[in-house]
Amino acid sequence: MAASTSRPNVAIVGVTGAVGQEFLRVLEQRNFPIGHVKMLASARSAGKRIDFKGKSHTVEELTEKSFKDVDLALFSAGGSISKQYGPISSEAGATVVDNSSAFRMTPGIPLVVPEVNPEAVKGIKLGKGGIIANPNCSTIIMLVPVTPLHRAATVVRMVVSTYQAASGAGAAAMAELEQQTREVLDGRPATCKIFKQQYAFNLFSHNSAVQDNGYNEEELKMVRETHKIWGDERPKITAMCVRVPVMRAHAESINLTLAKKLTVEEAREILDKAPGVSIIDDRKNNRFPTPLDASGRDDIYVGRIREDISRNGSGQEGYGLDLFVSGDQLRKGAALNAVQIAELLL
């Protein structure tokens, strides 16, 4: 029998992966109420033992029958698994929060950042089915600080460049970056299995497929997902996504063209009050956000707040503002955002 939705039965799909493990940490740290938990993964992981909230749990193989009496299913096992099992889970009565790209742009499926558009989940109840999509990590990290500025002064155009950590490609990529670093320092050839080129002491364009227009899939996700989350396709957005040899937490350089002028002081005041945002903006000591600041933390860190001197507000130029941000891809960019969505449903 299903649990009360005040203490829902929870299934974690992809529990042995980097985000799956982060799900467990976030659920425990936030004291998310759980009636019963199911640890689900592929057949090769079935039988493993995982500790959670002081108890040892056995990982079960994901099957079509895994979702009996489940109220909430947190998915992070890749798009193909989500497409196959997400609808099955929903039909069984579980409310699905999916971390893959499988349903993000599907009409009728909410794409949610709780600090930005919590109203999108109105009417969805735990244990009554339904699918909610977690946005791309880079989109989340961008929109948490940019949205309050957009509400104050209207973003007309946004140019974003990302500096994406190994965590964005999963635990195997993080392990390979560590392995490559040791190999290169030892004067040995770098092992390149996850990526086609050396990652350690290097950087390269994001490894997602490049489309006919020259943009890769990661860049287009940031554009399309922002429009859906904001419910407005008028802001012009362009992105350049790059992999950098950082273990965990993404960074982004963001240039905004605004319809109204915001001074640095006004922007800082808005960001200081914004949920999920912390400011590190010490010009005197040249101290601004870094991935190390953001790693393991919930907030998005913001600095380098300054007016864009290439724009003066006349004609069609608009007013410009620059930001540099960093956020933990595994936490706010993935597991934390999904758990926050689930908290909206309690």
Give catalytic residue positions: 137, 250
Our CA dihedral for 323, 327, 329, 332, rounded to 10 degrees, sits at -110
Return the structure tokens found at 277: 């945002």
Phi, psi of 57 (to 5 degrees): -120, 145
Alpha carbon of 223 to those of 13, 111, 327: distances in Å?
Answer: 28, 13, 19
Residues 6+ apart with CB under 8 A from 62: 13, 40, 41, 42, 77, 81, 85
150, 113 contact by CB (below 8 A):
no
238, 224 contact by CB (below 8 A):
no
Q: Tell me the three state secondary structure of residue 242.
A: strand
